[in-house]
Amino acid sequence: MTQVVRVGPGAEVACPKCGAPGTLKVETFRAAGKEYRYWTVLHGRRRCILKRYEEGEAELALPQPPEAQPPAREAGEAEGEREYTAAEAIEAISSVKPPEGEAYPRRLQRPAWYIVKLAASWGSFRENPTEENYRRLLNAAAQVTERLGVPTADLAVAAEQFLKTKSETAKIKVNEALTTVVCRIVTQVLAEGEGKPLAGGAPAEQGGPEEVAKRLEERLSKLEGEVRAIAETVAALAEQREKIAEEVAKRAAEAVAQALAQRRAQRGAGGAGRAGVKALVLQILSDGRPRTRREIELELRERFGVEAKEKPLSGRLSELKRAGLVALEVREGVFYWRIAGAGGGR
């Protein structure tokens, strides 16, 4: 007959969830920036969460079956989970040596590798539950489903819940789901070893050598077709790249030629260097009307399309003055240039 007893934290009890002996505790969990307290039963490194802890609740009423026993264990399995020291662990590990020259077929190595990948992805996600580590775990689970034919949807659901809550309960659910997936992989390996397809999974290769060779030939032919298509795509892209490079080079050459032509046109419009500018200045002043340097500069631009900056134009005028071709006169503090001999000035 089941009896109900009230016990407090620290008491050794039979867990009402799994029936295994453990220690009753009140533990605090954090999720989404909040703290939650629960009554739990600790079984070594594993725990069962019983109910929400109410503030001020000193004891918890638990049903205690008189013959509560832990789950059945395999023969030779020790009671409880033993904690080893480093020396004890090394001694236990060294007691059984690996066989020399061991080698395992691919049908065992492949699923074993995926088990390691799943475990490593879950380990990273458990220690650092970020979106990136969650994506890596999902990627590993998807590979197991696609390449081994083993269902992993329950693992994905549990992982998503752990990403949202980051609670201890969600972590336990992921551990349980991962254990189930590993059992499925091992079961499939055992079934394939006996030549039996696993229900819900991918069937093992069956048939005689001729059938196996035929299937391999079909796969090879399919791969050759895919490789050929990829090669054609790469060749088309290379040809397109060459055309683009030629077009870019052509346009660059045209742009350079156009720039050079414009430069030559500007030089032609401006005459041949200094002599051209001086000749134009003399042509402007030939009508006998004195002009300021600014007026000469504007006429060079408007009549001849020549851009003459202040300093170079002043230099050309000074050269013409030294040659006795033009003269400089001052009117009310303003300097005027004229043809020499066309009037008074200095």
Higher pLDDT pick, 283 / 71: 283
- The predicted model scores a pTM of 0.37
Mean pLDDT of all residues in 84-112: 78
Higher pLDDT pick, 113 / 19: 113
Q: Which two tokens stand for residue 173?
A: 């659910």
Please list, residue by residue across 47-65, b when 16 or more beta carbons sit within 10 angstroms of its beta carbon and e when fewer do: bbbbeebeeeeeebebeee
Nearest in space to 79 (alpha carbons), one of 15, 16, 22, 10: 22
In this structure, the answer to whether residues 185 and 247 fall within a common structural domain is no
In this structure, the answer to whether residues 172 and 242 fall within a common structural domain is no
CA 140 vs CA 108, 116, 200, 232: distances in Å: 18, 10, 19, 32
Best-predicted range by mean pLDDT (36-45, 175-184, 229-238): 175-184
Q: Which two tokens stand for residue 83?
A: 């904690």
Q: How much is the pLDDT for 202?
A: 43
pLDDT at 162 over 70: yes
In this structure, the answer to whether residues 131 and 143 fall within a common structural domain is yes
State pLDDT tens for residues 249-262: 888 888 888 888 77
**Which of 64, 86, 114 marks a domain boundary?**
64
Q: How many residues does the chain have?
A: 346
Strand partners, 246: none
Mean pLDDT of all residues in 74-86: 57
φ and ψ of 204, to 5 deg: -75, 160
Q: Is position 69 within any domain?
A: no
Mean pLDDT of all residues in 124-149: 91
Q: How much is the pLDDT for 252?
A: 81
Q: What residue type is assigned to position 246 of the chain? A: E
Q: Which two tokens stand for residue 212?
A: 């196996």
Note down the domain range covering 253: 236-269
Helix (H, G, I), strand (E, B) or coil at 164: helix
- What are the DSSP E strand ranges found in the chain? 3-7, 12-14, 21-31, 34-43, 46-52, 60-64, 326-331, 334-339
State pLDDT tens for residues 303-346: 888 887 777 888 888 999 899 999 999 988 899 999 987 655 54
In 10 A of CB 67, how many CB atoms? 5
* Number of independent structural domains in the chain: 4
CATH of the domain at 18: 2.40.10
Q: How much is the pLDDT for 336?
A: 93
Q: What residue type is assigned to position 342 of the chain? A: A
Q: Is position 125 within any domain?
A: yes
State pLDDT tens for residues 194-247: 554 444 444 444 556 677 677 777 888 888 888 888 888 888 888 888 888 888
Q: Is position 212 within any domain?
A: no
